[in-house]
Amino acid sequence: MLKLEEAAEEKAMVKFLERFDEYPFAIKFKEHAYEVGEGQPAFTIRLKEAIPMAELLKSTSLALGEAYMRGDLDIEGNLYEALDHFLGQMGKFAADQNALKKLMFSSAAKNNQKKEVTSHYDIGNDFYKLWLDETLSYSCGYFVREEDTLYQAQINKIDHTLQKLYLKEGMSLLDIGCGWGCLLIEAAKRYKVHGTGITLSGEQYKEFQKRIREEGLEEYLTVELMDYRDLPKYGKKFDRIVSIGMLEHVGRDNYKLYLDCANQVLKPGGIFLLHFISALQEHPGDPWIKKYIFPGGVIPSLREVMAHMGDYNFHTLDIENLRLHYNRTLLKWLENFEENLGEISKMFDETFIRMWRLYLSACAATFHNGILMIDEDVQVKRITGHGGFFKTKGVGQRYLAAAVDAPVTVMDTASEGGAWGIALLAAYLIAKQEDEKLEEYLENRIFKEMSGATIAPTKEEVEGFQTFMEHYKSGLAVEEAAINAMNW
C-alpha cells in the first residue's frame, strides 16, 4: 500500500512539473528518469524525496525553494539557467492566497517594518563585504562598457545618478534608505553638498558613521536611524531627494504616505529621484522571497507609483529602465558569493548558503526574463503660478544629453541652457554619426519635451539650433559649427 502511495505521489509530482514544458529539461527521481519538453534537456532536476502535491499547489515557489534549501532538490547544470526557465513561466505557478494570507500581507506598522528590514540588512556587514563591491552598493550597477567590473559599474551608477540630480555646491541632499552611504559620500566629495541619510538598519548606520569619519566628511554628512514617516517632523528641508531600493519596503498601502513625506521635506523646485524594482502589473509578491529574503517586501508597478505623483505636484523629467543592468549586477554578486564560500561557510550553515544562492540566481533570472524591472524616475517639484521651474534652467537639456549617453562635460555645458546647450547636443549627436536622426530628434523630442517638462524654447534657442544646422550642412566641422552657433 505504501509503495502504491509513493508511486502515486511521484506520478502527480512529475505531472505537475511537466506543465513547465516551454524548454526541455529532465527529472531524476530515485531510479526513474523523465524528460519534459522537446529536444535535448538543458538541465536536470534531481530529487531525493517527492514533493507533496499539497505543497506544490499551496505555493509552487515555496515548495520548490524549500526542497532546494533542504537539499532534497538539486540541479545538474546551471542553476541560474534552470531558474530562468521556470520563472519565465510563472503564470503556471500555483499559489493559494487564502492559505498564504498571513505571509503575503504583513503589517505596515513602523515596528513591524523595522523588524522586517533589519532581518535582511543586519545579518552582518562582514558578510555583505564578501560579495558586494568595495563601495558596498546593494543596488543595480550601470554597465557602460562590456569589460566593466562590478566596482566600475557601481561607480558608473553613482555618476549616472548624481548627474541626474543636477547638484550644486552647498545644496542639501536627502537619501531615503541610504544603505552604507556610498552615494552620499561621493556627492559630498564631488559637489560639497550637505547630505543626510536615513536607514532602519543598525549595521548600515554604524558602517556609514565609520565611513564618514574615515573620509573626513563630518562637516558634510549625517546619518540617522529613522523611519521615512518621521521626516516631516525632522525639521529640515532639502534641495534634492534620492531614494534607491527603498520603495520596495514601503508596502502598497503606504505609497501615497511615502510620497507625501518626501513632498513635505523637498523644497519648491527641488528634484526627487526614485529608483525602485518594478513589475508590469500589481502583484502581492513571491511567497518564498517573502518568507526567507525580504519579509513584507512588495514590488510596485510603475503605473501605480506614477499615478500618485501629480497629487504632490511632482512633474516627471525622466524615466529610465535599467532591467538588464540589474541582471548583470546580480550575476556578478552571485559570482563573488561562490568565490567566497570558504569564508561564508564559517558564518552560516549549508541551508543558508543554498538559500542565498537561490535568492541571487532567482532574482537574476527574473530581471533577465522581464518579470521584474528597475525604474529610475526623476521628478521636479513645481511652484504653482510660475511659468517655469524654480532654479532649474537647463535641467531639460541636461536630461536630454544624458538620454543620448553624452559624457559629463557635454552634460555640464548643455545644462547651462540657451543656444549653446542645444547646439552642443546637436554637435554631440552628429559626432556619434547619428546625423540622419538629428533633426527629427531635436525638433520632435527636445523642443516638445522642453515645452512640456521644463521651459518653452526661446527664440534664441531655436535660432541657435538652426544656425548650427546651417553651418554644419555648409561643410563646417562639428566643432566650428558649434562655435559659430554659440556666437551666432
User: Catalytic residues, which ones?
Assistant: 363
Phi and psi for 268 in degrees, rounded to 5? Answer: -55, 135
Kindly state the helix (H) or strand (E) to which residue 414 belongs, with its residue range: helix 408-414
If you write DSSP's letter for every residue of 123-164 in order, what string do you get?
A: S-HHHHHHHS-TT---S-----STT--HHHHHHHHHHHHHHH
352-387: b (≥16 Cβ within 10 Å) or e: bbbbbbbbbbbbbbbbbbebbbbbbbbbbbbeeeee
Q: Which amino acid is at 111?
A: N
Q: Which of 48, 142, 55 is nearest to 99 (CA)?
A: 55
- How are beta strands 73-76 and 32-36 bridged, if at all? unpaired
Sheet holding 25-29, edge to edge: 32-36, 25-29, 44-47, 73-76
Joined grid coordinates for residue 314: 511632482
The Cα–Cα gap between 308 and 260 comes to 10
CB 439 within 8 A of CB 426: no
Which of 100, 86, 118, 29 shows the shortest CA–CA distance to 58? 100
Neighbours of 169 (CB within 10 A): 9
CA dist list (Å): 465 to 199, 393, 459, 485: 46, 18, 10, 7
Whether 122 and 89 have beta carbons less than 8 Å apart is answered as: no
What are the angstrom distances between the C-alpha of 478 and each of 139, 178, 456?
38, 42, 26
Straight-line distance from the first to the last Cα atom of the chain, in angstroms, rounded to the nearest whole number: 94
- Residue 227: closest CA among 109, 356, 345, 361: 109
